[in-house]
Amino acid sequence: MKKYSLLGDLVIFSFIFLIFIIPPFFTSKISTSSPLFSAWNFPFNQFIFSIMAFVLYFFYYDKQEKKLPFFPILMTTSMLFCVALFIKFFSVLLVTNNISEDLQIVLPDSPKTWIFCLLNFAFAAFYEEVLYRFYFADKLQSLLAYKIKWKYLWIMCEAIACLAFAFAHFYLGIFSVLNALFGHIILRVCYKKSGSILTGFIAHFIYNVISLILL
């Protein structure tokens, strides 16, 4: 990751933290009166977020060593689904009134709405991969390293980023938080192995689309 001035990095990190990281914590929980997907229109918000994420990635990405740019996509996607299935299994065992009963989802019903649906998931997967897998943990570590000299600092930063992504899904229920937590770990390892967000983005996108169909 490229390094810029400390002041510039602090300003950008604070902006990202306030605009992208904090707001999902206050998203209303899914219910019959607050459905997850009720209509499919062009995802303007996700489009704007993905543009901002692209700019962030462009200015901070620094390919310093050759890695496998397409770390096995099938393996990454399979691991995401395996974790999701295990968590779903335990949620059914432990909770009789699961949140999935309250999910109100309208599947796309025309080529136009399918395009909007796929764009929605593509934009969302892209900016989440940039923010949580590429930027947040590494930049947090580099900023804290100016003042904190601790060999386990990277573990703390990785944990903070993981929890931030996990609890950004709290509006879907505690089992979705667990799913997102393990999903972040898988996608973060994928990013570290590949050196780019391509594989994680593709796996994340495929997972979201198939999950929508199976819900």
Q: Per-residue pLDDT tens, the chain, 215 aa: give them.
A: 777 788 999 999 999 999 999 999 988 777 666 666 767 889 999 999 999 999 999 999 887 655 666 678 888 999 999 999 999 888 888 775 554 445 567 788 889 999 999 999 999 999 999 999 999 999 999 999 988 888 899 999 999 999 999 999 998 889 999 999 999 999 999 999 888 899 899 999 999 999 888 76
Per-position b or e across 35-48, b if 16+ CB within 10 A of its CB: eebeebeebeebbe
Residue 134, pLDDT score: 96
pTM value is 0.90
CB 117 within 8 A of CB 40: yes
Contact 51, 45 (CB under 8 A): no
DSSP summary character for residue 61: -
Which helix (H) or strand (E) is 39 found in, with range?
A: none
Helices (H), 44-152: 44-60, 73-94, 111-128, 137-144
pLDDT value for 215: 62
